[in-house]
Chains A and B, each alone.
Chain A
Amino acid sequence: MENFLSDFQIDALKEIGNIGSGNAATALSQMINKKVDMAVPQLDILGFNDMIKRVGNEDDFVVAVLLKVFGDAPGNILFLIKQEEAERFSELMMFGMTEFNEELFISIFQEIGNILGNSYLNAVTQISGLNMVTSVPAVAIDMLAAVMTSTFMEAEQYSDEILAIDTRFYIEDNEIAGNFFYVPKPGALNTILNKLGL
């Protein structure tokens, strides 16, 4: 789709992704009081099947949190974590509480999505001066391919090649890892780049 981006623009968008992810990692680390590392963000323009392969197998079960982004540069934010890792992650969030059920599990991931998504987006809005807000998060526990195709379709990315800025978070020395995607609607990246004079 937006593969008319120059190398310089791609680097700028990755740097914004880097600042956003850094912000998100810090917020998460403060919340769970554990070390959170992150990989250098990637900007990828790939076919669907390849984009999914970056995360895992099509039928891997994941916990997915989707936040819609409204405003000047609309799109979607998606946080994915493999189901077994999500269960370990949720234990970290329980702070010793023992009453556990599915409702609580979902609410934990809504909250994680909220914190990651909004701290990411805050960084982007501060750098760019654009106005953007997120929806309340929605959680699905389902197959990787099903949640990813739905996320990209929801962001109106209808081309054969889809675009995402993504990074991986590692919690507790790599025992738990999650993927964080920023999926812009067509034209949204141009709005950000124009605003930055790039």
Chain B
Amino acid sequence: MQEIKVGIGDLNIAKSPYKLITLGLGSCIGIAIFDITNKIAGLSHIMLPDSKNFSSNNNPLKYADTAIPLLIDKLLDSGANKRNLKAKIAGGASMFAFADKSSTLDIGTRNSEAVKTILKQLNIPIISEDLGGNKGRTMIVDPDTGIVTLKIAGVGIKEM
């Protein structure tokens, strides 16, 4: 079965039998949004919480606040029904454990909070999440079953 790759700071959609995959989420977050009735799904790989804090926000797909609405638009344009949309999210790790926790501005945590806030504002329920920790994740999204498969470094394979 063919997998459509989503790069860093990118998004895409797929219909069954295709799957979506994004590799090596660290502090970044993968947001999978499904319409299981119409067997269509989208996946966004964001790097930063909020485009408004940055002057050079030239790629809207990098930021949670701009990427998620674009992902939803793309799903609706391709025949998804807004009322069916549900989200599964993964990532937001802090990869390097430093002793001086206080001095690190933890992008992973800020990304996680931003993604949850934005999905709530857009009335998309989060049905499953795997956030935080200190391990990288690869995310595979199947529009046919609504299953997200995570490959977690040093841990193994997990379904959500």
Contacts and interface: CB of A to CB of B under 8 A. Distances in A.
Given A147-B136, A153-B107, A142 B58 contact: no
A99 interface: no
Contact of B7 (A49, A59, A135, A146): A49
B114 to A, nearest CB: 13
Q: Is the interface of A mostly helix, strand, loop or mixed?
A: mixed
Count class of interface residues, chain B: 35 or more
B44 interface: no
Contacts of A1: 56
B12 interface: no
Nearest to A135: B98
A48 B46 CA distance: 12
B56 A159 contact: yes
Give the interface SS of chain B, mostly helix, strand, loop or mixed: loop
Interface of A: 1, 48-49, 52, 57-59, 61, 64, 66, 68, 135-136, 138-150, 153-154, 158-160
A146 B25 contact: yes
Contact of B153 (A52, A138, A146, A149): A146
Given A49-B7, A154-B107, A160-B59, A145 B24 contact: yes
A138 B96 contact: yes
A142 B62 contact: no
B8 A160 contact: no
A76 to B, nearest CB: 9
Contacts of A146: 24-26, 28, 93, 95, 136-137, 153
B135 interface: yes
B150 interface: no
Given A1-B56, A158-B56, 16 more contacts: A48-B9, A49-B7, A64-B96, A68-B98, A135-B98, A141-B154, A142-B136, A143-B153, A144-B24, A145-B26, A148-B26, A150-B26, A150-B93, A150-B95, A153-B48, A159-B58
